[in-house]
Structure 1
Amino acid sequence: MDDHPDGRTLHVTEPRRVPWLSIVFGYGPMLPFLAGAAAAWGWRGEAWGDAALTLTLLWGCAILLFLSGVRRGLSFRTEGGARLSQVATMIGLFSLGFAALVLAVTDRTVAALSLLLLGFAAIAILDPIAARRGEAPLYFARLRPVQIPLALLGLAALLVLKL
């Protein structure tokens, strides 16, 4: 007989090690940041370089917006329900990603890159904290500090190129 007819009780066991699919889908999306920055630098002053910069910038906006959704999705499975810190982080990441997108399409590249750098730096700092507090999978504490700096490196290289 169900003790909770209007709800569900979940018992979750999660690994500290990073699952294989999270390695693939964690590091894979970071590669365009590095490739785009390398292409923008390699073809600087040429149309291909400008295209590489623009595509990498838009990629960064898309990934940051996606990661804001990841944060919201995690809050649905947090024991005791969503926490204010999860919702605030989601809103902050989404706001940075959307503002960067608006700036990118209005040709304010330096400002857009700056917001993306801020958003990705926040993820690198906040996701390990969230993992320790039970607001994100435990493996985020190991994944994010290595994964996100790849995006930061590519974005920083693009920012230096534009300055």
Structure 2
Amino acid sequence: VLGGSVSSRLFQEVQEKQNLAYSIYSFLSSYSDNDMITMYTATKPKEVDRVVDLVCREIRQIGVTGVERNELERIKAQMKGSLMLSLESSHSRMNKLAKDELTYGRHTSLKNMLTHIDRVNMEQVFNVSRQYFGLDSLAITGLGPLASRSLQAYK
């Protein structure tokens, strides 16, 4: 929903509509005891606060309104396609097998992952976003020549 493709909310709002970022995306890092969602953007130093405000607004919006059915179906199709393409090389397959073993202690089949994606519904997305996308658990890191007052509102 938030990022990972050119149709994501972050890409559309921050990069396409507002033209505030050179690059913007998000990704999930899974560990045995927790997960971390990372959102990355590259922007001009003078645009940092505007970009962070827009990202926070998109996070809040999902927790308030959830996602539309057509958006969810598009996202699920994109996720399944990306997943299948990512496993076409033997290197990617071995990497996934090793990560599954180290993280979960078991292998998850492609069929199982596709089934789990298909089962995701709008209510689950809404509930997960309300539970995990609270701005109180947000950590922001800025690198580069930032103005001394940049990101002060997020302390």
Confirm or deny a common fold (TM above 0.5). Answer: no
Of the two structures, which has the highest relative contact order with CA contacts closer than 8 Å and spacing of 6 or more?
1
Larger Rg: 1
Q: TM-score, normalised by structure 2?
A: 0.30
TM-score by length of 1: 0.29
Structure with greater proportional strand content: 2
